[in-house]
């Protein structure tokens, strides 16, 4: 089941009133007590509490999925390890699949209340999640009256709905304009994500066989924020290995740039991304990766300036104002978390660009936000050790009132900048 990439929870402007949940099913076993129930919204929730509970509840928010599925108390198969460490764990199914972010935040808040009513009030609650779930956790942290004491956003779409999807649109626009103008690829108003993805994949496979195709895909990938290392099964290319980086961009391009839009546009009422007014020559310069793209173009014998002129002279995409407003609400961060927030990202994530995390951290300057990176590639491919280190690092911050030394699991890293930053309440590109 797909659980990747997109991430837009609905943040409520004020505290949510939470009525009691419907009757719960509970059972005892030697390792942990299990609770489950149905929330007033109809969403289902589940929790596990170890006998040696330390008083902290970890609230798990899942990533994007076309269907609601079954509620999970923890992700990544971490249940037993977290329980053994003394944490209680809980999560809901949000009550909906797809871009279910208008439902996600209130469902997660209701899960906290249901847990407290069924068992006891936690000493503290840490919201954590992968991908879209990382943005759900961020939204919980940014609420005016948070129901949590800390947030852990892992491999998260933390740059927000509008900026993330605008950056993806830039990559998609460049690909269709320069590589596959006649393939019937849709950029917005997507009626069928799977059919559109098939057209993209076919055009991508053909283009990657030629030097000019690889150069143009590298340009589109850079504009869309795809890093130069995305494969978990391959070593990171050297900084000067432009061909290797182009190959890595190509391997994640279709899923990292052509993010699902059908459900989102149904919710918003139309196109919520735009590229009017974007100067692609300036965007490439801002990326810090122009040298790589230029070298690939020279090797392929293609005129980079001419391609940039084609992009700047092409027909642009306009968004519907009401659709944008929906995505600002559901969810574009304001980068003003009211509780400590730890953001953790793989440096080689080709589906949720590491640039999103950099953009959030820069916008949140002066807030209690810690941004760290794990050396590795792939989307949300953290080891159990990295997950535990992240949770303990944040838990320690909450206990001590200040950040300690970063664990050895994290490495120094600065990804390329967020090329289309958009923070709620501030000007965006």
How do residues 258-279 score in pLDDT, each as one tens digit? 999 999 999 999 999 999 999 9
CB atoms within 10 A of CB 70: 9
Class of domain 25-160+332-400 (CATH, top level): alpha beta
**CA distance linking residue 162 with residue 36, whole number of Å:** 35
Residue 326 has pLDDT above 80, yes or no: yes
Residue 57 has pLDDT above 80, yes or no: yes
Q: Which two tokens stand for residue 30?
A: 């030697």
Average pLDDT over residues 62-77: 94
Asked whether the beta carbons of 224 and 171 are under 8 A apart, the reply is yes
The b/e string for 385-398 (b: 16+ C-beta within 10 A; e otherwise) is ebbbbbbebbbebe
Q: How sure is the predictor about 53, in pLDDT bands with cuts at 50, 70 and 90?
A: very high
Query: Residue 426: what pLDDT?
Result: 84
Residue 8 has pLDDT above 80, yes or no: no
**CA distance linking residue 4 with residue 232, whole number of Å:** 16
The domain segmentation of the chain, as residue ranges, is 25-160+332-400, 161-326
Residue 2 has pLDDT above 60, yes or no: no
Residue 314 CB contacts under 8 Å (≥ 6 apart), including other chains = 173, 177
- The structure's pTM equals 0.92
Q: How sure is the predictor about 80, in pLDDT bands with cuts at 50, 70 and 90?
A: very high
Among residues of the chain, what percentage have pLDDT more than 90?
90
The sheet carrying 44-50 orders its strands as 25-28, 32-38, 44-50, 88-92, 56-61, 124-130, 150-154, 341-348, 369-377
Q: How sure is the predictor about 241, in pLDDT bands with cuts at 50, 70 and 90?
A: very high
Angle between helices 161-178 and 242-257 (to 10 degrees): 120
- In this predicted model, what pLDDT tens digit does every residue of 192-228 receive, in sequence order? 999 999 999 999 999 999 999 999 999 999 999 999 9
What sign does the dihedral 125-345-423-172 (CA atoms) show? negative
The b/e string for 307-323 (b: 16+ C-beta within 10 A; e otherwise) is bbeebeebeebebbeeb
């Amino acid at each position: 089941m797909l659980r990747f990439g997109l991430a837009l929870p609905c943040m409520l402007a004020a505290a949510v009133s939470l009525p009691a949940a419907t009757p719960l099913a509970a059972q005892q076993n030697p390792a942990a007590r299990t609770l489950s129930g149905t929330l007033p919204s109809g969403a289902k929730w589940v929790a596990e509490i170890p006998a040696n509970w330390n008083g902290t509840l970890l609230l798990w928010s899942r990533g994007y999925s076309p269907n609601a599925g079954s509620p999970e108390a923890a992700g990544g198969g971490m249940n037993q390890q977290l329980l053994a460490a003394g944490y209680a764990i809980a999560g809901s199914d949000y009550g909906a699949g797809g871009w279910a972010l208008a439902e996600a935040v209130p469902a997660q808040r209701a899960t906290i209340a249901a847990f407290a009513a069924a068992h006891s009030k936690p000493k503290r609650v840490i919201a954590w999640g992968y991908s879209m779930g990382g943005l759900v956790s961020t939204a919980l942290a940014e609420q005016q009256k948070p129901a949590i004491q800390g947030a852990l956003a892992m491999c998260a779409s933390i740059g927000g709905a509008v900026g993330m999807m605008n950056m993806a649109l830039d990559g998609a626009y460049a690909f269709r304009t320069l590589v596959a103008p006649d393939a019937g690829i849709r950029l917005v108003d997507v009626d069928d994500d799977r059919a559109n993805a098939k057209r993209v994949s076919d055009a991508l496979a053909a283009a990657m066989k030629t030097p000019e195709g690889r150069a143009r895909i590298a340009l589109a990938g850079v504009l869309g924020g795809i890093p130069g290392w995305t494969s978990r099964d391959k070593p990171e290319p050297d900084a000067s290995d432009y061909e290797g980086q182009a190959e890595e961009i190509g391997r994640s391009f279709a899923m990292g740039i052509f993010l699902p839009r059908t459900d989102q546009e149904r919710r918003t009422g139309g196109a919520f991304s735009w590229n009017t007014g974007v100067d692609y020559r300036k965007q490439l310069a801002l990326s810090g990766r122009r040298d790589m793209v230029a070298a690939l173009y020279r090797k392929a014998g293609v005129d980079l300036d001419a391609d940039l002129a084609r992009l700047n002279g092409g027909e642009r995409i306009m968004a519907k104002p009401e659709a944008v407003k929906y995505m600002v609400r559901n969810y574009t961060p304001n980068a003003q978390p009211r509780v400590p927030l730890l953001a953790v990202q793989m440096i080689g994530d080709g589906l949720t660009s590491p640039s999103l995390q950099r953009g959030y951290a820069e916008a949140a300057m002066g807030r209690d936000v810690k941004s760290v990176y794990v050396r590795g590639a792939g989307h949300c491919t953290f080891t159990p050790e990295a997950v535990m280190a992240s949770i303990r690092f944040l838990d320690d911050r909450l206990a001590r009132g200040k950040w300690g030394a970063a664990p050895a699991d994290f490495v120094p890293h600065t990804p390329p900048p967020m090329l289309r930053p958009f923070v709620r309440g501030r000007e965006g590109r």
